[in-house]
Each structure stands twice: as C-alpha cells, then as structure tokens.
C-alpha cells in the first residue's frame, strides 16, 4: 500500500477487495462481530486521507450467484461509515447501473461499497472465461487494486485472483501484517511451539494437522473434532459429533504423532444440544451412550493450560466447545486465558476463535495477533500457494 500511496492516489479510483464477511444475527440481521470491518480500517483510512476515490468490494456468506437479500452488504456499509466517521455510499448492485453511477459520483476521499460480489456467478466460477468477464467489469471501477481481504486469499475467485492481473495491484496493510505474522510460524518459530485445534470437523483440519505435526512440539485437540480421535483411541462417544469415515485416519495420526497429540481426558456431556440441557463432567472413556459431548472438561483444561504455559509460540484455531452456550464455554475460555498468560507469541486463527475471544470478553490485546482468516490462515500454515497472494506477487 505504501508503494501505491507513494505514487500519489489523489483523485484516482482505488478498488479495494476487503473481507467484510461478518456474522449477522439470524433474526435481527444485525452485525454480531465487526472485527473484520475494523481490521480493514487502516488501509481504507490511509486511502481516504490520501484523497483516493475508494471503491470497496467484498463477499458476505455464500449466496448462490444471484441477489439474495439476507446476504446484502447494506448493514456493513452503515457500520463501515460509523467506524470511518464519514458516510459510505452503498451501490445496490455489484457491477450494474447502481454501481456505475455510485463510482462515477465519488468525490476525492469518499468511500463506496459495492453489493455482495457473490450475487454474481462470475465471482466464484470455475470457468476462467466467466470469471475473467466478471473481473473485467470489476476492474473497470479502479485505476489501481488493493487486496486487503486476507480471509479470502485462499479462494481462486475473480475479485481475488483475476482482478490483480488487470490493474496495478498491491497488498493492503491487513494482508501484509497477516502474511508477516503467519510467516513467523511457518519459518522458524521459537520453541516449544504448541498448537491448539478445535472446531467441529476433523476432515476440515486434516491437511493442517498433517502439515503441522512434524513442526510442532505439542498439538492439543478439543472441540467437536476430538470425539473422532477419542473413538480412534477405542472410547465410546455416545451421540457426540463423529466422522466415522475419519476414525481410521485419526488412529493413524495418533500412532504417527510420537506422543505430540494431547486429547481430552474429561468432557462435558449433555442430554441435548441446547443451552439449558442437563450436563455433567465425565471421563473421556466414560461417555454414556445417550449423551453428547459439548465441551472439554476441567481436568483437560488444566492439562492444556500446563502445556501452554511452557510454550514460546502458540497457534490456536477453533473453539474447544459450544462457547455460544454459557454451560459449554468454559473449555474455550480456559484455553484462551491460558494462552494470554503464557510467555509466548500467540496467534489466534479463524473467524470462530476470533469471535470467541470477543464474545467471551477477553482482552484482544493480550494475544500476539488475531487473524481475520479462518480457512486462509490454515491453508497458509499448510504451506499451500494461496491464489490471492500469488496474484499479488505476480
């Protein structure tokens, strides 16, 4: 971004790809966590101050290539305006008449937000020509392009992968910081290096587990995915989340891990997936057949906290339990607090873990870095080539 600012952007149209994919309350439609909007402010403010005509674009949720009001970015435009301290002009479409007139009407230092990129088939199309045609339309709104959508750099989508081929392109402040911080973890992290993984599915995390195992000193596993590992250890898991087809793979990982993988020794089981369900702490090898695990237990939290207290580098992705329900939030809270107390460089990766940090009222500044990327941060740690980063480097 500094390179672009150095050239001077006053009066130039700068197209900024942001990741404004924020969680919305299902009933009220209100933004429940504006972390991703805040994260892009440094880039947007710098462009506004330099007098650019700033055209912001983003996806929200996963609409199916056509307008769908529940995924409109309109509420985000309002919040972005509040945070920037100046109204943000909202275009009712992404590349149509409304977008064109909104962009044409921008004064220097003003900001516009286009409607959801994914209301257009071309954004996510696997067909290069279809994506390219959409990228042409988007690129027409900018004299330069800034990618500050770290959460989306792992997607080979038009706005991330194809627009930079059409315009002078640079990384925004957020993308740069994310890459610098995550690069520390893929480089030569200070040891012990402890990774905590949670979340619901092992299948989503398999590649990152495979990639991280040789590099880490300890891998602590909680969240819904721990039950497939417990099953692989020969324990019954009742009606807990279980990926049957992954049990054998988890068994292999445990065998190959050389004792690095730590699993829960106790869990909180409930009668139902409900905030007021009756619940108890049971040993991990004593889950009753009719109950389901919704959090890690206190003995596990203590064990994980002890491992984390030794760490010099920590990466955490995925909640330890259903933290949205108070009865099942203690595991996530306990692990998060242990991370903040450790004398370590800590990185929180993933929309859910970042949202958990904020929802549980934890002090964000006591973590080294809270990544805005979920899948993106995991794929970065796996060492994959990320289409959005590759496009900037090209």
Per the annotation, where are the binding residues for substrate?
19-21, 36, 59-62, 118, 155
From the number of C-beta atoms within 10 Å of its C-beta (0-12, 13-18, 19+), residue 306 rates as exposed
Q: Are 111 and 88 in contact (CB under 8 A)?
A: yes
How many chain residues are in contact with ligand 3PG, going by CB under 6 A? Answer: 9
Choosing from 222, 303, 319, 351, the residue that interacts with ligand 3PG (CB under 6 A) is 351
Task: Give the residue, chosen from 53, 131, 155, 369, that forms a contact with ligand 3PG under the rule CB under 6 A.
Answer: 155
Residue 64 annotated to the active site: no
Tell me, residue by residue from 166 to 195, as one string, x for binding to ligand 3PG by CB under 6 A and - for no binding. Answer: ------------------------------
341 in contact with ligand 3PG (CB under 6 A): no
Residue of minimal CB distance from ligand 3PG?
21
Among 36, 53, 89, 260, the active-site one is 36
Give min distance, CB of 352 to ligand 3PG, in A.
9
Rule CB under 6 A: say whether 152 interacts with ligand 3PG.
yes
Q: Which of 121, 201, 215, 384 is catalytic?
A: 201
Binding mask 368-387 for ligand 3PG (x = CB under 6 A): ------xx------------
Q: Which is nearer to ligand 3PG, 110 or 377 (CB)?
A: 377
Catalytic residue among 122, 151, 222, 375: 375
147-155, 208-216, 223-231, 252-260 -> range binding ligand 3PG (CB under 6 A)? 147-155
Where is the binding site for ATP, in residues? Answer: 205, 293, 324, 350-353
In whole angstroms, how close is the CB of 323 to ligand 3PG at the nearest point? 17
Options 151-159, 168-176, 250-258, 287-295: segment touching ligand 3PG (CB under 6 A): 151-159
Instruction: Scan residues 15-34 and list those touching ligand 3PG (CB under 6 A).
Output: 19, 21
Count how many Cα atoms sit within 13 Å of the Cα of residue 302 in the half-sphere of its side chain.
5
Q: How far is the CB of 336 from ligand 3PG (least distance, A)?
A: 20
CA 97, distance to chain mean position in Å, is 32
The CB-of-98 to ligand 3PG minimum distance in angstroms stands at: 24
Annotated catalytic residues are 36, 201, 351, 375
Q: Which positions lie near ligand 3PG, rule CB under 6 A?
A: 19, 21, 62, 151-152, 155, 351, 374-375
């Amino acid at each position: 971004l500094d390179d672009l600012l150095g050239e001077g952007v006053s009066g130039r149209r700068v197209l900024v790809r942001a990741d404004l994919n924020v969680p919305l309350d299902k009933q009220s439609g209100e933004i429940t966590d504006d972390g991703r909007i805040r994260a892009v402010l440094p880039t947007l403010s710098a462009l506004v101050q330099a007098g650019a005509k700033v055209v912001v674009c983003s996806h929200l949720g996963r609409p199916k290539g056509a307008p769908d009001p529940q995924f409109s970015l309109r509420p985000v435009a309002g919040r972005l305006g509040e945070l920037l301290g100046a109204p943000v002009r909202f275009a009712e479409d992404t590349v149509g008449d409304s977008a064109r007139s909104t962009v044409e009407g921008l004064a220097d230092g003003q900001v516009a937000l286009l409607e959801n990129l994914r209301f257009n088939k071309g954004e996510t199309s696997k067909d290069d020509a279809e994506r390219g045609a959409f990228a042409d339309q988007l690129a027409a709104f900018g004299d330069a392009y800034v990618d500050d959508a770290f959460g989306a750099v792992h997607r080979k989508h038009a706005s991330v992968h194809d627009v930079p081929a059409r315009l002078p392109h640079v990384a925004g402040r957020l993308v740069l910081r994310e890459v610098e911080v995550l690069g520390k973890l893929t480089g030569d992290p200070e040891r012990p290096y402890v990774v905590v993984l949670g979340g619901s599915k092992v299948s989503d995390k398999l590649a990152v587990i495979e990639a991280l195992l040789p590099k880490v000193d300890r891998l602590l596993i909680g969240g819904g995915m721990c039950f497939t590992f417990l099953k692989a250890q020969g324990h019954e898991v009742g009606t807990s989340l279980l990926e049957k087809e992954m049990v054998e793979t988890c068994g292999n990982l445990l065998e190959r891990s050389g004792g690095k993988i730590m699993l829960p020794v106790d869990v909180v089981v409930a009668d139902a997936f409900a905030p007021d369900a009756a619940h108890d702490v049971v040993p991990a090898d004593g889950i009753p057949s009719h109950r389901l695990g919704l959090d890690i237990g206190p003995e596990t939290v203590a064990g994980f906290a002890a491992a984390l207290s030794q760490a010099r580098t920590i990466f955490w992705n995925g909640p330890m339990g259903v933290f949205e329900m108070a009865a099942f939030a203690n595991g996530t809270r306990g692990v998060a607090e242990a991370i903040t107390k450790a004398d370590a460089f800590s990185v929180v990766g993933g929309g859910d873990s970042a949202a958990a940090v904020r929802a549980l009222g934890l002090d964000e500044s006591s973590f080294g870095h809270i990544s805005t990327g979920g899948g993106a941060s995991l794929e970065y740690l796996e060492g994959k080539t990320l289409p959005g980063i590759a496009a900037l480097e090209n």
